[in-house]
Amino acid sequence: MQLIRKAAEVDFEYTLLQGDASCEVSSLCYDSRKVKEGCLFICMKGAKFDSHTIIPEIIKNGAAVLVIDQECAYPEGVTVLKVKDSRKALACLSAAWFDFPSRKMFSVGITGTKGKTTTAHMIRALLEYEGRKTGMIGTNGIFIGDKRIPTMNTTPESYELQEAFARMVEEGCSHMVMEVSSQGIMLHRSDAIFFDIGIFTNISPDHIGPDEHRDFEEYLGYKTKLFEQCGTGLVNADDPHAADILKNAVCTDMYTFSEKENADFRMRDFSLVTEKQFLGSKFLFSSAERETECLVGIPGEFNAYNALAAFSAACLMKLKTDTLQHGLEKIRVNGRMEIAYTGEFTVLIDYAHNAVSMESLLDTLRKYHPKRLVVVFGCGGNRSRDRRYSMGEIGGKKADLSIITADNSRFEKVEDIMADIRSRIAGTGGKFMEIPDRREAIFYAVNHALPGDMVAVIGKGHEDYQEINGVRHHFLDREVVDEAVRGRGLS
């Protein structure tokens, strides 16, 4: 396979410094620890390491072609290509190496500050309700049918993305849904992918700092870039920055979803639903072609907005009305308002790990009028102490009972973190107790839950570990809740 020529199909541009650009290569590589004989190696500068500095070692280990994006020394006898940006080159070459697998599926890309994960799971659930085998990539990992592969980033490196797409195609996926982070766009991880539908959920100040975006304008700009690589755009018209997205998009078609009358897809008559075996919401979904009442099995109006985005995408994909009516009744997203048990009382798990998300979650649950609202939480160690102060204050003000416990203590003492939380929660007058062991704290909350109570276990969500003194130990809130519920003789 003449990889370099093939990559030109997705705007791979280079200057040949020496050698033969039409040569065959054995593999594609960007990790210096994985160099193979005859491979094409892409040199990149990262936050801690620059592989341009070890080119002699890379050549010695067998690389036949080098891709570089800065001036550096290299020996004779190896093909060298100079590019403007090695990360972009990696995306283009990876897409070509795996024979452009994303083109072989109907693909949906989702960007936004909040809601990406839940919306992606919802779209996947709707597709699979109709029997469409669907791949998904995002915060909770890579999913290929029923298989899950853990990932480190919401948007993995471009090579891993293309490799995952290829596996999806090989295993018979007809559709693919992907969270597209602004960081992933900025680092060219999502380059060389064409999305049939691109979705914008919302935007608020986040991911701004030395290692992320320099300011909000840059953050918004990268969110907008998704709509330079999709055929149809779908935008939340109720977001204050929707006009910026719509103005700069170059999609063939653009649609909006909203509670407003002039949107292409609308949500009307929203209401919360509390039943013994169901906690969620319902609303009337309408478009120019149909109107139907939909049930959403995750609590909160903001999750109804996520569902509105998912239903809108489903309409564009021509899914059936029955799918819209019933496809999300039993939806479960690991660690995102995840209903772990509902019966005499309710236990849910959420990733809320700062004051803003904690307050939003508790305010949402309060609208369901629980007998008591109980929250189990801690804070991560070696992070800003302001987070634990503010979460303590929110717990004291918003919950009927706060159970302070461990999170990922990292290299701090759990007792020190809990003391910081206690210092603020005590001043609110709110009722609280301290149980350092997280498993014991969850068991206590479940064992003492009364009929009509809501128990929220927050902070870790989908994470399947606890980090203590630099070591990760297996720990999943959902598993502990399940064990505690069984211990009470409930199912």
Percent with pLDDT over 90 in the chain: 82
Strands 79-82, 15-18: parallel, antiparallel or unpaired by DSSP?
Answer: antiparallel
| Residue in the structure block whose two tokens are 């910026």 | 244
Domains and CATH numbers, the chain: 3-97 (3.40.1390.10), 101-326 (3.40.1190.10), 338-487 (3.90.190.20)
Q: Which of 131, 72, 106, 84 is nearest to 320 (CA)?
A: 131
At residue 212, the pLDDT reads: 61
Strands 195-200, 106-111: parallel, antiparallel or unpaired by DSSP?
Answer: parallel
Joined together, the tokens standing for residue 70 give 């800065």
For residue 15, how many other CB atoms are within 10 A of its CB?
10
The pLDDT of residue 97 is above 90: yes
* Strand ranges (E), 59-146: 65-68, 79-82, 106-111, 134-138, 141-144
Indicate the range of 123-127, 209-213, 315-319 predicted with least confidence: 209-213
CA distance 466 to 447: 22
| Residue in the structure block whose two tokens are 């929707």 | 242
Element (H, E) at 302: helix 301-316
Region 122-132: mean pLDDT is: 97
The pLDDT of residue 207 is above 80: no
SS3 content of the chain, % helix, strand, coil (to 5): 35, 25, 40
Q: What is the dihedral of CA 258, 262, 266, 267, to 10 degrees?
A: 70
Q: How far is CA 346 from CA 177, 277, 404, 431, 443, in A?
A: 30, 9, 19, 20, 14
CA distance 350 to 339: 9
| Residue in the structure block whose two tokens are 């999502």 | 190
CA atoms within 13 A on the CB side of 45: 9
* Strand ranges (E), 150-296: 175-179, 195-200, 230-236, 253-258, 265-275, 278-286, 291-296
pLDDT in tens, 409-452: 999 999 999 999 999 999 999 999 999 999 999 999 999 999 99
pLDDT in tens, 221-254: 778 889 999 999 999 999 898 888 888 888 989 9
Check residues 276 and 184 and name the one with the higher pLDDT: 184
Joined together, the tokens standing for residue 168 give 């999806």
CA distance 123 to 178: 10
pLDDT in tens, 73-84: 999 999 999 999
- Grade residue 213 by pLDDT with cuts at 50, 70 and 90: low
Q: Which residues contact residue 465 at a Cβ distance below 8 angstroms, ignoring those fewer than 6 apart?
A: 408, 472, 473, 474, 475
The pLDDT of residue 219 is above 90: no
Contact 339, 297 (CB under 8 A): yes
CA distance 308 to 284: 10
The pLDDT of residue 310 is above 60: yes
Joined together, the tokens standing for residue 407 give 């999170």
Joined together, the tokens standing for residue 162 give 């293309």
Contact 148, 141 (CB under 8 A): yes
Predicted structure pTM score? 0.89
Joined together, the tokens standing for residue 468 give 């203590």
Contact 378, 432 (CB under 8 A): no
- Grade residue 279 by pLDDT with cuts at 50, 70 and 90: very high
Region 127-140: mean pLDDT is: 95
CA distance 23 to 279: 60
At residue 218, the pLDDT reads: 78
The pLDDT of residue 210 is above 60: no
Q: Which residues contact residue 61 at a Cβ distance below 8 angstroms, ignoring those fewer than 6 apart?
A: 35, 36
At residue 438, the pLDDT reads: 98
Q: Which of 256, 249, 197 is nearest to 223 (CA)?
A: 249
Joined together, the tokens standing for residue 387 give 């987070």
pLDDT in tens, 346-402: 999 999 998 989 999 999 999 999 999 999 999 999 988 999 999 999 999 999 999
Q: Which of 353, 355, 409, 354 is nearest to 381 (CA)?
A: 409
- Grade residue 208 by pLDDT with cuts at 50, 70 and 90: low
Chain-centroid distance, C-alpha 360 = 19
The pLDDT of residue 141 is above 70: yes
